[in-house]
């Protein structure tokens, strides 16, 4: 995935990044935008002044682009507090420099500012991981069920003779455990049934319809 950031100057929108999978990045002008075409054709001074301003902000634009793609390419789903486990000191210092540029940039978005500040907080030892969101009763019950699902399946199969509760199929390996009522938070044995794959697939087709 490539990232492109938007830069607005004097009412004109420019783009910085790349549309392809190579690592070359640079300023992108969308010639499909009528105001851009008209400004070029008419020699609008404001448009060319905007280009001249962008030409002096190479490091700032690179920093904005780097911070914009930071979480996707660097953290890759890892929590912020594990950042130092995956990067050496010199590379982290490089990101701190980029973050400083972003915090001073008038083009930075809220997301980029938050990302930049978090990088600095991590490197300064000031980062506090946010508390994990409280799970709902339904989520807690579902997690507990998933943890002991196989044991419950075996218990039901033993008690009911290794048969599908719907058609009586006794193929043990095909039996699945499901709830009778999906609308309530109930994973107790009395609300659990066994279904063979064939009956389970029929249920899925019926639900889709």
pLDDT of residue 104: 95
- 98 has a pLDDT exceeding 90: yes
Q: What is the mean pLDDT of the chain?
A: 85
* Predicted TM-score (pTM) of this structure: 0.60
Per-residue DSSP letters for the chain?
---EEEEEETTEEEEEE-SSSSS--EEE--TTSHHHHHHHHHT-HHHHHHHHHHHT-HHHHHHHHHHHTHIIIIITT--GGGHHHHS-HHHHHHHHHHHHHHHH-TT--HHHHHHHHHHHHHHTT---PPPPPPPPHHHHHHHHHHHTHHHHHHHHHHHTTS--TTT----GGG-EEEES-TTS---SGGGEEEE-HHHHHHHHHHHH-
Nearest residue to 98 (alpha-carbon basis) of 68, 55, 56: 68
Q: Which of 20-24, 71-75, 178-182 has the lowest mean pLDDT?
A: 20-24
pLDDT tens-digit profile of 18-31? 766 666 788 888 77
Kindly tell me if the per-residue pLDDT of 53 is higher than 50: yes
Give the model's confidence band at 206: pLDDT under 50 very low, under 70 low, under 90 confident, else very high. low
Parse the chain into domains and list their residue ranges: 4-123, 137-208
Could you report the per-residue pLDDT of 131-149, keeping only the tens digit for each?
A: 888 888 888 888 888 888 8
Q: How many CB atoms lie within 10 A of CB 5?
A: 21
Q: How far apart are CA 35 and CA 10, in angstroms?
A: 12
């Amino acid at each position: 995935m490539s990232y492109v950031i938007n830069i607005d100057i004097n009412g004109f929108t420019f783009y910085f990044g790349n549309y392809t999978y190579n690592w070359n990045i640079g300023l992108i002008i969308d010639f499909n935008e009528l105001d851009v075409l008209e400004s070029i054709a008419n020699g609008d001074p404001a448009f060319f002044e905007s280009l001249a301003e962008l030409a002096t902000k190479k490091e700032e634009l690179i920093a904005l682009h780097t911070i914009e793609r930071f979480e996707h390419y660097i953290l890759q789903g890892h929590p912020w507090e594990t950042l130092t486990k995956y990067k050496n000191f010199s590379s982290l210092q490089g990101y701190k420099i980029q973050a400083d540029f972003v915090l001073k940039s008038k083009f930075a978005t809220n997301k980029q500012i938050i990302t930049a500040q978090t990088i600095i907080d991590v490197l300064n030892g000031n980062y506090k991981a946010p508390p994990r969101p409280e799970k709902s009763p339904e989520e807690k019950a579902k997690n507990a069920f998933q943890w002991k699902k196989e044991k419950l399946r075996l218990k039901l199969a033993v008690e009911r003779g290794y048969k599908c509760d719907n058609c009586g199929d006794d193929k043990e390996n095909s039996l699945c455990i499901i709830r009778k009522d999906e609308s309530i938070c109930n994973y107790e044995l009395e609300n659990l049934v066994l279904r063979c794959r064939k009956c389970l697939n029929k249920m899925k087709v019926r639900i889709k319809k």
